[in-house]
Amino acid sequence: MANPLHDPFDLDGLAGEADHTAPAPRREPAPPPPAREPPYLAALNPEQRRAVETLDGPLLVLAGAGTGKTRVLTTRIAHILWTRRASPSQILAVTFTNKAAREMRERVGHLVGGAVEGMPWLGTFHALGARILRRHAELARLKSNFTILDVDDQIRLMRQVLSAENVDERRWPARALAGHIDSWKNRGLAPDKVPANEAQGFANGRGIDLYRQYQERLKTLNATDFGDLLLDCLTIFQQHPELLEDYRRRFRYLLVDEYQDTNVAQYLWLRLLAGPRRPDGPNLCCVGDDDQSIYGWRGAEVGNILRFEKDFPGATIIRLERNYRSTPHILGAASGLIAANAGRLGKTLRSEVAASGEKVQVRGVWDAEEEARVVAEEIENLQRKGHRLSAVAILVRTGFQTRTFEERFLSLAIPYRMIGGTRFYERAEIRDAMAYLRVVAQPEDSLAFERILNKPKRGLGEATVQILHQTSRAQSLSLLEAARLLSGTEEVRPRARAALGELVRQFDGWRARTRDLPHAELAEIVLEESGYTEMWRLDRSAEAAGKLDNLKELIRAMEEFGSLTDFLEHVALVMENEQADSDDKVNLMTLHSAKGLEFDTVFLPGWEEGLFPHQRSLDESGIAGLEEERRLAYVGLTRARARASVLYAANRRMHGLWQAAVPSRFVDELPADHVEIENAPGIYGGMGGSQFEERPAPFTSAYDTPGWRRARDARRGEPQRRTDPRIIEGQAELVVTSEPTSTHRPGERVFHLKFGYGRIVAVDGNKLTVDFEKAGTKKVVDSFVERA
């Protein structure tokens, strides 16, 4: 292999590059651009056009929802190519999701007439990070065929580290450590850079040490996690400036999508690649919308976009404020809502849609079942009027909310599709199959080896695994090599010894055949000979058939790739198995996965305090969390072209407990001019008239939100009181704390809003087990019952 320090771009394997010849810094005079005005410019509005034509210097495009952000990005790339400012391989274009990358590639291809195979540097942060890291793997103590571990593997590896260090896993769960490490990596912090005081809370201050050990284990496994794909790049760039310089000269244009979602590591990565501003340095263009920053919880820093002018002096800022998607009412409602957030760059979206359209519908319902019933009914009405189901979406805050809708749709035979759910490559059987292939491709992948060691059952249990680990640690061997060693010694029982020997022999055989067999065929042989498929064939359970189908699908998917390595890379970085689903179905997904999409009709259920804004968000991040939730609401509303419908339920079952719910403060923040309120009769008034007033005092004050006040006032027939949206309650008030112990005693007769009268059977903290007269025995939280 060529020395990557001196000739990193030679490994590209790209044919037909314009600049293959000159490694030295140079900027040849560009050939004159074609005289004729490019056809794509005519399709742009003046601001978009300026964003496309401002090619020199840092540029921030603040693109509000529905203002043609992707069009600007893709047209800009086309324009760079058209004006001969750079060849395709000199443009770095980075996105967050594979979907966005794919769309960008397609649209650029469409604009420049097909040939964009030459854009090797268009992809997600992680894909591009992996690409760079594979070229310089040895600088990060890796081999270029390193494995990219998924979250599942990460946790298992951390468990191993924790148990090796005798850390009590019940007290310090691996998940929590994973969380810490992830957030350090998101902030670009290698173990030696983590501030000492930060890990105090974990395992008696051993957090950083555990982080270091985890990194060591990764290196011995020749593996990285997702965070390393960027973090290792940062380290390499910092330690090898000449190499960074090569990349800076290489990339004449940098384009970044969804800049508001970048975390610190991504920001540093971009800054390093952009370098100081200079004539031969790259030109950076970031596109984003601070109002759509909804990934703070996974490390995104809105600050990055807010700080752009400071970070890149002399930056041009262009606002795209013409919205081509939503009607004025929908846009008015969304704008009014988001105005309650402080610390925005500020945009005034104007609707370019002629029809004023319907107002945003706001509707209170009794519970989730009614919510689903109402939505399904409206969808059927739309369908009767000739609307397509695929133009309808239901956007929920949390995953569990989809269940009620699914049940309703199933019983009414309304076709629907779940977007986001469990992904193909996360299924257990797919992971197992992948683990076999990973060991074939990379025998040092001991995590994969351990995963399939006893799948199917080979009589290799806990005891054998322990000995394998000891041997592997003592002799610095991979688990596979440890197994090879142990299969020839007396250290394990004869049965296990034979099984180990057989497994090692099989892997040797499969590995030997990688060269002369197509990889999909080899995979079939591996799964067959290992007995893995047989295991599922013999399985009598209901899921077994589906799992076999999935395995077939896996083989089919493999056929589309050039090699086993390519396929493994794809799975690690893409996770989803693309399925073209053009059928006419209702779309069901979380608000997070709806970003970037649009629909004629959007239903937004579950606008209740605690669910949306989500309690956890408020507890963990206070006002910042609330503002992020509000941005999420903004994203939800702005998905709608013609119709948006907000719903909230008076009662919701969460974690198996019934909770009385109050309307979200966001409901109250929607400007009255743009909404039409339609409360189902009796939701916040009829029933007994006591559910708001006769609560214990601490509960009432905790729920003193605008939405709650509105519901209460509406009930009293008083005029609605609008609170100044800029005044946000202090964090303490946002936290709903349930009383730790109940004042209720077994034997008491109580009344519950949903279940009626009953007698307390047991008291556990604030949870009561109540034997209801009509509803049977239920567990409820004490604040939802009153003494009868």
Partner DNA sequence: TCGCCCTATATAAGG
Partner DNA sequence: TATAGGGCGA
Q: Catalytic residue positions?
A: 69-70, 257-258, 292, 639
User: Under the criterion CB under 7 A, does residue 693 sit at the interface with DNA?
Assistant: no
> Which residue in the block uniquely carries the two structure tokens 């596109």?
287
User: Under the criterion CB under 7 A, does residue 201 sit at the interface with DNA?
Assistant: no
Angstrom distance (rounded) from CA 634 to CA 414: 28
Give the chain's length.
788
User: Under the criterion CB under 7 A, does residue 616 sit at the interface with DNA?
Assistant: yes
With CB under 7 A as the contact rule, the residue among 366, 400, 699, 751 that binds DNA is: 400
Region near DNA per CB under 7 A, out of 510-518, 597-605, 653-661, 686-694: 653-661
Helix axes 544-558, 428-441, angle to 10 degrees: 40
Residue 227 Cβ, how far from DNA at the closest point, in Å?
6
User: Under the criterion CB under 7 A, does residue 573 sit at the interface with DNA?
Assistant: yes
User: Under the criterion CB under 7 A, does residue 460 sit at the interface with DNA?
Assistant: yes
Region near DNA per CB under 7 A, out of 29-37, 310-318, 574-582, 669-677: 574-582
User: Under the criterion CB under 7 A, does residue 219 sit at the interface with DNA?
Assistant: no
| Residue whose CB is less far from DNA, 496 or 667 | 496
Region near DNA per CB under 7 A, out of 46-54, 432-440, 460-468, 597-605: 460-468
Region near DNA per CB under 7 A, out of 40-48, 297-305, 472-480, 731-739: 297-305
Site for DNA in 463-482 (CB under 7 A): 463-464
User: Under the criterion CB under 7 A, does residue 614 sit at the interface with DNA?
Assistant: yes
Region near DNA per CB under 7 A, out of 45-53, 95-103, 434-442, 563-571: 95-103
User: Under the criterion CB under 7 A, does residue 127 sit at the interface with DNA?
Assistant: yes
Site for DNA in 403-442 (CB under 7 A): 420, 423
User: Under the criterion CB under 7 A, does residue 327 sit at the interface with DNA?
Assistant: no
| Residue whose CB is less far from DNA, 109 or 420 | 420
User: Under the criterion CB under 7 A, does residue 98 sit at the interface with DNA?
Assistant: yes
Phi, psi at residue 245, to the nearest 5°? -60, -40
Phi, psi at residue 608, to the nearest 5°? -130, 145
Angstrom distance (rounded) from CA 114 to CA 491: 62
User: Under the criterion CB under 7 A, does residue 227 sit at the interface with DNA?
Assistant: yes
User: Under the criterion CB under 7 A, does residue 143 sit at the interface with DNA?
Assistant: no
How many residues sit close enough to DNA to count as binding (CB under 7 A)? 52
- Using CB atoms within 10 A of its CB, is residue 732 exposed (0-12), middle (13-18) or buried (19+)? exposed
- Number of C-alpha atoms within 13 angstroms, CB side, residue 374? 23
User: Under the criterion CB under 7 A, does residue 506 sit at the interface with DNA?
Assistant: no
User: Under the criterion CB under 7 A, does residue 735 sit at the interface with DNA?
Assistant: no
516 contact partners, CB below 8 Å, separation of at least 6: none
Angstrom distance (rounded) from CA 236 to CA 132: 10
Nearest to 100 by CA among 81, 136, 130, 126: 126
Nearest to 699 by CA among 786, 572, 763: 786
User: Under the criterion CB under 7 A, does residue 170 sit at the interface with DNA?
Assistant: yes
- Dihedral of CA 333/334/335/338: which sign? positive
Can you spell out the DSSP letters for 375-394?
HHHHHHHHHHTT--GGGEEE
User: Under the criterion CB under 7 A, does residue 368 sit at the interface with DNA?
Assistant: no
Q: In the structure encoding, which two tokens stand for residue 229, read together?
A: 């794909």
CA 32 to chain centre: 43
Can you spell out the DSSP letters for 315-365?
-EEEEE-EESSS-HHHHHHHHHHHTT-SS------EE--S---PPEEEEEE
With CB under 7 A as the contact rule, the residue among 195, 205, 415, 459 that binds DNA is: 459
The footprint of DNA (CB under 7 A) covers: 96-99, 124-127, 151, 159, 169-170, 173, 182, 226-227, 297-299, 397-400, 420, 423, 454, 457, 459-464, 496, 573-576, 590, 592-593, 614, 616-617, 620, 625, 628, 653-656, 779
